[in-house]
Structure 1
Amino acid sequence: MFNQSPLGTGTSFGSSTPTTANPMRDFEVISPPDDSVSCLAFSPAAIPQNFLIAGSWDNNVRCWEVEQTGKTIPKSMQTMQGPILDVCWSEDGTKVFMASCDKMVKCWDLSSNQTAQVAQHDAPVKTCHWIKAPSYTCLMTGSWDKTLKFWDLRSSNPIMTITLPERCYCADVDYPMAVVGTAGRGLIVYQLEGKPQEYKKIESPLKYQHRCVSIFRDKKNAPAGFALGSVEGRVAIQYVTPQNPKDNFTFKCHRSNGTPSGYQDIFAVNDIAFHPVHGTLATVGSDGRFSFWDKDARTKLKTSEAMEQPITRCCFNHNGQIFAYSVSYDWSKGHEFYNPQKKNYIFLRPCYDELKPRTKS
């Protein structure tokens, strides 16, 4: 298995990549995007191989096959008319959906390598999620046009449109739950059974703009709540119906101490992913680090060395053996800190053991 191969075999590490770019000595994905990486997604459990999809501000979506050795093989690429903001897979692993600033979502059929438009908004499409319900399947898209739309791929019109209070900034789906975070720190939970409808609005536990949201499951493996990350180096763990008010809490992350002036540098939390087996989580930030956490024990499991650029996105493969993360500029410090000489990277890390929950002593 991937997690048993010795690190450093089958990688191109050490030849072209400076140590500062890959301080954790992880597997490097070859032929990475030419601009900042905006989204990452591994193929679902329905297919035996591991495929990784990445969308970028270079308007392209790339697909690699990840071998057990950690070696990556570029498979194909598709282009849209604007930067890619999100990607997702169909549950059978045959299709990839690509949401773009060109206000469209396209479906990429991997077997024929063809794309077709399946959704349209009046502004850039920020999120796309495939919903597989017992009675229906559809694509959910969230946009800066302040709408959430649900699409049956056989029709050019949405089967349903929900007006949001503000622009959609982040969303996650784990049937039967969907969570949407909007501008103005709005948070709405939807239930997807029967047909999608608003379940409750939640007052944000965070004081600053939401950057990312990820649903987690309870011990019975049912979606129970979500982790919310903000631009102010903080994550909130929020249960939709908490058994105990103390179940909800926030914690600080992606901050650095010891600046000469005595101030603390605070960085944005760019992405959050939950481990599919252990239920622990990873956060990545503008400080160029990833951290692994056990939310139930309320403890940090690991923090990486700092990369030379921010980490923009992360994801786990379906069985939780591989952690993928992308290193590229996230514009958190403005255009004056953008360095076109710096390459974009995607790294793969065997992670199963590192994310095991802290044992109760």
Structure 2
Amino acid sequence: MSSSAQFEIPENQNPADAISSVKFAPHSNKLLVASWDKHVYLYEITSGIGTLINKFEHRAPVLDVCFGKDDDEAFSCGLDWDVRRIDLTTGAQNVLSTHSAPANRLVYSNTLSLLISASWDSTLHFHSLSGDQIPASLALPSKAFSLSLTPTKLVVAMASRALHIYELSNLHLLISESSATDSAINTIEAEPWQRRESSLKYMTRAVACMPNDAGYASSSIEGRVAVEWFDPSNDSQARKYAFKCHRQTVDGVDVVYPVNALAFHPVHGTFASGGGDGIVAIWDAVAKRRIRQYHKFPASVAALDFSTDGKFLAVACSPGFEDGKEDLGEGSVSVVIRELGEVEAKGKAAK
């Protein structure tokens, strides 16, 4: 592909501190970027160009962001403990709930009009946005590190290598039936559909669900990715596997990097992984193959997301602990957009 297939957001429009999240809009190529510089950025992505539309100031570093029911609604969470709704047209913000520790992850179910936030306080908050239902809280056994949704399931990756899989319909029913209280939030109890222990030996870094609702991939701080299926049958569980990735030989030593980000292609069902080595690779989960690996990006890959039509891949680069740097150098934070060729992320038939 030509060099025009990849471009960076102009440096003067980049966040001023590390990037924590990138998310494409559901119906367009608008892109949200959350940063430790206490802002959420909104860009318009077109072929060869990324343009800053607006940025929205917060009280503290922003750890995650996502779109809501349409391309004009967004949600954010961060070190101020708040979960916020942002009207991207007017810039108005309102707090939906407040955790008792930093809120680090968000996912939104358009089918159920349900926003789910996770926090280092070991809870999930559920915000039903179709009515005036007050938020509901669910206690977890440990801190949640990553969340991912399918149309029917919620996967929560936690500390101690624990994973909970919930059926969204059951959660939504419990939230709807929760009794109103005098407090700002209801408390619910919900048993997971499945409890699992990660196939990976070390701490989970990211989890991402397959677009066909069949399973998920997870990654660890120790350069590995696992692929698993929801179906609990013995035959299906026998298909799960894990593999090494994001490792480099430096001066004869095998250096292992964290796999910080995972994202599934919405059309082809393949997935991208991004690591602390500054590398992004595309994988075929079914054929168990790496399809391609891109040239090293400017810094550690902190976050990834595909556009809804699968034509763009957003790559957020920020120096990480693996770089041995405490301060961000000029130009070290960047958002790189990859324009994908027609078959660039297409899987290969399994042998």
- Structure 2: runs of 5+ lacking an equivalent: 173-189
**Contact 2:65–2:74 (Cα < 8 Å) also in 1:** yes
Q: 1:132 to 1:78 in 2, by over 3 A?
A: same
* Conserved 8 A contact 1:119-1:156: no
Name the counterpart of 1:44: 26
Q: Which runs of 4+ in 1 moved over 6 A?
A: none
The offset of 1:156, in angstroms, is 8.2
Is 1:248 the equivalent of 2:240?
A: yes
Contact 2:299 2:332 in 1 (8 A): no
Tell me how far 1:247 sits from its aligned partner: 1.2
Partner of 2:319, secondary structure, is coil
Among 112, 124, 127, the alignment partner of 2:90 is 112
Distance (Å, rounded) in 2 between the aligned partners of 1:189 and 1:320: 26
* 1:158-197 equivalent positions in 2, closer than 5 A: 158=135, 160-196=136-172, 197=190
CA apart distance, 1:274: 0.3
Deviations 1:178-210 (A, max 9, x none): 001111211110110143442111011011001
1:122 to 91, 100, 105: 100
Asked if 2 retains the 8 angstrom alpha-carbon contact of 1:185 and 1:210, the reply is yes
Structure 1 counterpart of 2:39, from 32, 52, 60: 60
Partner of 1:332: 322
Moved more, 82-91 or 326-335: 326-335
Aligned equivalents of 1:309 and 1:179: distance in 2?
29
Question: In the TM superposition, what is the alpha-carbon distance from 1:334 to its structure 2 partner?
Answer: 5.0
One-letter code aligned to 1:348 = I
Q: Aligned to 1:341, what secondary structure does the other structure show? A: coil
Displacement of 1:70 in angstroms is: 2.2
- Residue 335 of structure 2 corresponds to 346
| Alignment of 1:212 onto 2:192 | no
Higher mean alpha-carbon deviation, 137-146 vs 86-95, is at 86-95
Gaps of 5+ in 1: 9-24
Alpha-carbon contact 2:30-2:71 (below 8 Å) kept: no
1:79 and 2:54 aligned? no
Paired residues for 1:222-301 under 5 Å: 223-242=213-232, 243-257=235-249, 259-260=250-251, 262-301=252-291
CA distance in 2, matches of 1:119, 1:330: 30
Larger mean Cα displacement after TM superposition, 238-247 or 178-187: 238-247
Range moving further from structure 2, 163-172 or 236-245? 236-245
Question: TM-score of the superposition, structure 1-length normalised?
Answer: 0.86
Q: In angstroms, what is the RMSD of aligned CA positions?
A: 1.9
Conserved? CA contact 1:103–1:122, under 8 Å: yes
TM-score (norm 2): 0.88
Aligned length: 327
AA of the residue aligned to 2:257 = F
Q: For residue 155 of structure 1, report the CA deviation from its aligned partner.
A: 4.8
Q: Distance in 2 between matches of 1:191 and 1:139?
A: 15
SS, match of residue 278 in structure 1: coil
Identity %: 30
- More helix per residue: 1 or 2? 2
1:85-137 deviation per Cα after TM superposition (whole angstroms, max 9, x unaligned):
1111113222010111100011111222211111210000011111233xx42
